Each structure stands twice: as C-alpha cells, then as structure tokens.
Amino acid sequence: MLAVNRWNDNYERVLLGGLTCDSDDYYNSEQHTNAIYLPKFSAEKPLYIGFFHTGAYQETLGGYGGLQHCLIPQPKHILVRRDDEGALRTEVFRPQQKVEEFLQILGIPEECGKSSTASIVLIPVPYDGTSTWGKGADKGPDAFLEAAENMELYDIETGTEVYTHGIYLAPAIEEGSSPEAMVEEVYNVTKDYVNRKKFTTLVGGEHSISIGAIRAMNESFEDLTVLQIDAHADLRKEYNGSRYNHACALFEANEQTNLIQVGIRSMDAIEKTVMKKDQVFFAHEMIQDDYWMDTAIDLMTENVYITFDLDAFDPSILPSTGTPEPGGLQWYETLEFLRRVFDEKNVVGFDLVELCATGNYKPSAFAAAKLYYKMLSYKFEGEQATVVDAAKEYERKLADGGKMLVSLAGAMSTAELGKIFAEIIRKGKVHIVSCTGANLEEDIMNLVAHSHYKRIPNYRDLTPQEEWDLLEKGLNRVTDTCIPEEEAFRRLQKHIFKIWKEAEDNHERLFPHEFMYRLLLSGVLEQYYEIDLKDSWMYAAAEANLPMVVPGWEDSTMGNIFASYVMKGELSAGTMKSGIEYMTSLADWYTANSSEGIGFFQIGGGIAGDFPICVVPMLYQDMERTDTPFWNYFCQISDSTTSYGSYSGAVPNEKITWGKLDIDTPKFIIESDATIVAPLIFAYLLNM
C-alpha cells in the first residue's frame, strides 16, 4: 500500500479501515509488520492510495476475466510505462468487467442479460451479519453463481430454456453497516425492480435479507401470501437486540401478510404464541398427511411470494446451511409442491437464503442453483406454452381463411420491429394494422436517420439536467433511444408538407397513413435511406396498400406539425380525415371481411388496441347489426401485470361483458416484453 501523490508532504501515522465480506479491512501495526505512514490529511489536497500485489485470492477463484469474489467486477487494467523519450505513457489493457460478462460466463447470452430487456432480475445479497452458529452465508451468492456456471440451461421436466426470457444479474447489495441498513437497502432495490415490472428474485445471504424483500412485495401486490419453506419458524419479535435478526425474518410477514409455513421442525416456545397454527405445516405431521399440499395451497391467496430457506431440505440433500436440521424435505416432493404453487397461484417473486459456502459446499451450491432454475422454469413454463399456443392458433385462423388485425403500441417502430413485421406484411399474415401516430412515423424516421440515433443504455438513471441536455442537443428520447430532431423530424417535415399542400390544392382528403404511403412511394426519401428498405414495415405496408387505422394521430410529432400549419393558416384541418372517419372506415372493412372471422393480435396496450376492438360492439349494439361476428381470436402481449381497473392489464374475459369477444374466442395474455415475444411469434408464422 502506497500513496501515489503528495510524496513530498509531511507524513503521519494512520489507521485505515474499510468493509468487505471478510470484515477484515483494518490496517495497523498489529495486523502488519510495520506501522502505516501516509501524507497528512488535508481537505484541500486529496490523497490517492494505491494497493499493490492484490488479487491473488480473486484470481485463484475466478481466473483472469472470470467471476470474481463477492461479484466485484474485475477492475480496469492499466499499463504504465516510459516511452523512448522518457515520458510516462498509459494505456488500458482491459476495461472494467461488466455484468453482461458475468452472464456470458454463466452461459447466458448477452442479449438475455440486459436490464432493459430481461424479464427476470437476480439480486445477490452477500450478508451474514446476524447468524449465530454456522457462518458463511455471505459467501453463498458467489458459490451459487459458481455452481450455476456449470449447470445445463435446458430443463427436462418443463421442456423449456427459461434464460431466454432474460435474467439480469443485478449489482450485489453490499450494505452491511447494520441489519437495519441492509433491510432498508434490500427493500429499496427490490421495490425499484418490481416497479419496473421485473420478476424479482434474491439469493442470500442469511434469512434476514427477506424482511426487506417481503416488505417491498407486500406494498406492491394486493392480499399477499408469503410462503415460507424452512426448518425454523423465525417468528421472534427480537433477537440479540435486533428486530432484523435472522431469527426474526418472518415476524413482520406474520403480522402483515397471509403467512404459510412449510417444513417447520425447530422453534422456540415464545414463537408458538404468535404462530398461526392452522397455517403451519410441521415436518413430522407432513410425512403422515397425503393431502398437506392441497391444504396449503387452499390457504393461499392469488399473489404469493416464496421465501425458501435451504435448511428446509434434509441435510442429506443440502448440508451446507447455517443450521442444518435432520428430518427435512426431500427433493422431488419439494419440486412437486413448488410446481403446483406456480401452476395454481401467481408467484410474484422469491428468495433463496442460507447457503453457507464453507467446507465441501459445492454439492449444496449446485442444488441451490438447480432449485433456483427449476423455480424460474415453473414460473415461466405456462407463459412459454402460451406463446406457442398463441402462435399456433394465429396460424390456424389464417389457414381457415380468417383475417388478422395487428395493433402496435409503445415504441415498436423505434425498437425496429419492422425487421420482421415487414416480412409478415409481405407474406400476407396481417390484413389490417392499428397503430399509434408515433409508430406510423418512427418507422420512417428510422429508415432515413438511423445512423443519427443515439442509444442511452442507462436511461433510467438520467437526471433532469441530463434529460434537458439531450433536448438542447435536439435528441428526443424514447426509452433507451434518442431520435434526432433535425435528421428525423425536420427531414420528413419539408417533404410531407408538400404532399399535404398538393392534396389540399387538388381538393383531396386523405387519412394520415395514406399521406405517409404517398410520401414513401414518391421516392423523395430515397436519398436519405440508411437501413435496408426491406426492414421498413411502413414501406411494405405502402407497397401492399395495407388497410390501416391510426387513432389519436394528432398527438404524434407529424400531427403536431400539421396542427401548426393549420394554426398558421397554411393548411386546412379538413385536408386530414378524422378519427371518426377512421372508425367508420374500420366498420366498413370489418363488415366486408368478417365472413371467415377476424382475429385481434395486440402488441402493447393503449389507444392502438382500445380503438379498433370497439368496432364490434359499435356495430352490434349501436348499429343494431346483431349478426356482426365477435373477434374470433385475441392475443395481447404486454408487460402490464394483470389488474382490475386498467385496460391494458384487464383479463380477456372482461372484454366479453363489453361485447368484444365471444365466450369461445381463443384468448391469450402474454405478460412479457413485446419486443422479444412478438418477433418469436412472427418467426413461427414465417417458419423461421
């Protein structure tokens, strides 16, 4: 250890302290051969300290570029040397390790490990501050990930590869100054990912980490059941002077949620006074009860969070825990129970705790990694099957002569859905499109200004000032992508205005999409093309003259620009056909094309879906055309979780009461990232 600046200043003897998982970063003359002297402290003159000859422990565990101890990224490697003229030169030999590299080491492709696209988040919490006997839970996350690196990613039982849904390895929660601070940090991080609509999971660490996670889940999901699978009751109100001790892990959940305890075989007498006895399944009673699984599941509400202490298993299955207890659960009975819970209830998240990486821990670590992956496979098994079933039913409807409406909401064009959607249009797999004004124009903007787009991977972390700076640069952000105003908006504006004006002079009235078709087919944009024309879904639609509705077009950029010309007196509002005319044209199209049935394939939520689906009840109820057929297929892909009171999150059966779907209409809800799932379904339809 050596100061790297201020060498000529006066020195003083110092004691240095820090905190890592070893809790042993205390440098003084008792622990080291010599006392430590460094330049005297000065608030005005920062001191930089170099630590040399470090990393042997980490390199031994992970190797160069491997998984490092405590998930600490391997630091940037810099070469410092003098050139021929004696000047100091530096170069980066290797940049700092990224989370995505961890995932690739684990066998998970980089695109499945990005926080922006992953459906699943894994939060490591290497905390072991309150355990009282077997130490080593703080090393559990490292051991877990090391084992996961050697695990097959195909699950035989479910026939799935759940990693394709995306698993983001979040930065480890290193807060360890106190149990209270750790719980608060776990709560904040968990709540943040839940708010981002991620399926949030945690790996500990001792059981006290679950307090913050359960608190966040209970605030986020109504009428929450906490399913505790554990050898210990963990219902003490306080232990060793703290309410956040591992022995108190479920006290708060017992008071504030519907707590169900399974596998219990060790407890203190005081815990019996607060225990909900009808909701506790003791290990010695379970072995004599063939129906304990049915009873436990019947006691659960719809939303369930699972906290799984690995000492629930018999030590013959998983011995490396803080307090292994004999007489525990067996592997396959546990999996059977978990699969039923995932099948019959809405599991909103889970944690695995108390893996102690001491002694011969590798078999236990592998079992923990396997259990984690099995639980994810159970969670997403139904969803993966739904994707396949929705694709097959879509194909079946077309084979029977039916037609399909596809609605596009969100930032699908900016996400470049056109790369595959254009081919769907060319192959006649879609017969009418409903899209937002943004999707209508942003596909064309991507066509003419792609190289000027700016990616912002860390867009969630932007400050208001950083957002303002983007505006000052003429960059308008759509999630992680900024659209350049000059090269995109203004480039289209000068050409579309001429087409609007020419139509008005010729007394023509067109829909917004018809003007865009005319713009694309005129050839005036060819000079700007920056992507392959076959990847533009709007160009494919223009060539096919595909029927389209664009509800709410007025709030798009081109809608705003058109309105500005109307206000300046340069265009008449009547030149643009209105939303009411869109509805009447859709009604005419539906009436003319519904003899073999029309399906509804909805990507995202919002007005792009709300508007066209209402054409059926309008015809049936308001026009009193009682022979109007219902939509005969419905599929919605959205990351809106099922809820009541919102359109995007409403269950499909609600649409029956509004006269949109029939009782027998095939219905599919896929709660996932549409930029991942929609291309999968389209690829199936194209036999890719």
- CATH number 3.40.910.10 is the correct assignment for the domain at 400-453+486-685: yes
Local structure of 84: helix, strand or coil: coil
Residue 340 CB burial class (10 angstroms; 0-12, 13-18, ≥19) = middle
Q: Given pLDDT bands bounded at 50, 70 and 90, which one contains residue 599?
A: very high
Q: How far is CA 489 from CA 343, 486, 504, 688, in A?
A: 48, 6, 22, 35
Question: Is the model more confident about 389 or about 479?
Answer: 389
What H or E segment, with its residue span, contains residue 581?
helix 579-593
For the cut 80, the answer to whether the pLDDT of residue 112 exceeds it is no
Highest mean pLDDT among 73-82, 159-168, 180-189 belongs to 180-189
* 643 — pLDDT class (breaks 50, 70, 90): very low
Q: What is the pLDDT of residue 50?
A: 82
State residue 108's pLDDT score: 61
The pTM of the full predicted model, rounded to 2 decimals, is: 0.58
Question: Is residue 30 scored above 60 in pLDDT?
Answer: no
State the distance between the two ends of the chain, measured CA to CA, in whole angstroms. 58
Q: Contact, 670 vs 630, CB < 8 A?
A: no
Q: Which of 27-36, 180-189, 567-576, 629-638 has the lowest mean pLDDT?
A: 27-36
Domains 99-384 and 400-453+486-685 share a fold: no
The distance between the two most distant Cα atoms of the chain, rounded to a whole number of Å, is 95
Closest CA to 434 of 414, 411, 402, 408: 408
pLDDT cut 90: percent of the chain above it: 58
Least confident range from 107-111, 254-258, 432-436, 625-629: namely: 107-111
16-20, 398-402, 580-584: lowest mean pLDDT where?
A: 16-20
Most confident of the following: 32-36, 278-282, 607-611? 278-282
Residue boundaries of the structural domains of the chain: 2-89, 99-384, 400-453+486-685
Neighbours of 475 (CB within 10 A): 20
Q: What is the pLDDT of residues 257-270, one digit of tens each?
A: 999 999 999 999 99
CATH topology of domain 99-384: Arginase; Chain A (3.40.800)
Q: Residue 461 has what pLDDT?
A: 77
**Residue 648 pLDDT greater than 80, yes or no:** no
Reported as a pLDDT band with limits 50, 70 and 90, residue 433 is very high
Q: Quickly state the pLDDT bin for 106 (edges 50, 70, 90).
A: low
Q: Which of 46-55, 294-303, 382-391 has the highest mean pLDDT?
A: 294-303
The mean predicted confidence, pLDDT, of the chain is 87
Highest mean pLDDT out of 189-203, 487-501, 658-672: 189-203
* pLDDT value of residue 66: 65
Q: Please tell me the predicted confidence (pLDDT) of residue 611.
A: 93
pLDDT tens, residue by residue, 509-537: 999 999 999 999 999 999 989 889 999 99
In b/e form, how buried is each residue of 260-287, taking b as 16+ CB within 10 angstroms? bbbbbbbbeeebeeebeeebbbbbeebe
Of 56 and 623, the one with more pLDDT? 623
Are the CB atoms for 371 and 308 separated by under 8 Å?
Answer: yes
Instruction: Band the pLDDT of 23: cuts 50, 70, 90.
Output: very low
**Per-residue pLDDT at 644:** 47
Q: What is the pLDDT of residues 51-94, one digit of tens each?
A: 776 655 556 556 666 666 555 667 788 888 888 888 988 888 87
Angle between helices 418-426 and 674-685 (to 10 degrees): 30
Check pLDDT > 80 for residue 414. Answer: no
The 10s digit of each residue's pLDDT in 310-342 is 999 999 999 999 899 999 999 999 999 999 999
Given this model, what pLDDT does residue 197 score?
A: 84
The lowest-confidence range among 31-35, 148-152, 260-264, 427-431 is 31-35
- Per-residue pLDDT at 64: 66
Higher pLDDT, 58 or 583: 583
**What b/e sequence results for 128-153 when a residue is b if at least 16 CB atoms lie within 10 Å of its CB, and e otherwise?**
bbbbeebebbbbbbbbbbbbbbeeeb
Least confident of 281-290, 426-435, 641-650: 641-650
pLDDT for 377 beyond 80: yes
What is the mean predicted confidence (pLDDT) over 16-36? 56
Residue 33 has pLDDT above 80, yes or no: no
* Banded model confidence at residue 462, pLDDT cuts 50, 70, 90: confident
H/E stretch holding 294 reads helix 292-298
How far is it, in rounded angstroms, from Cα 439 to Cα 442?
5
Position 677 confidence tier, pLDDT thresholds 50, 70, 90: confident
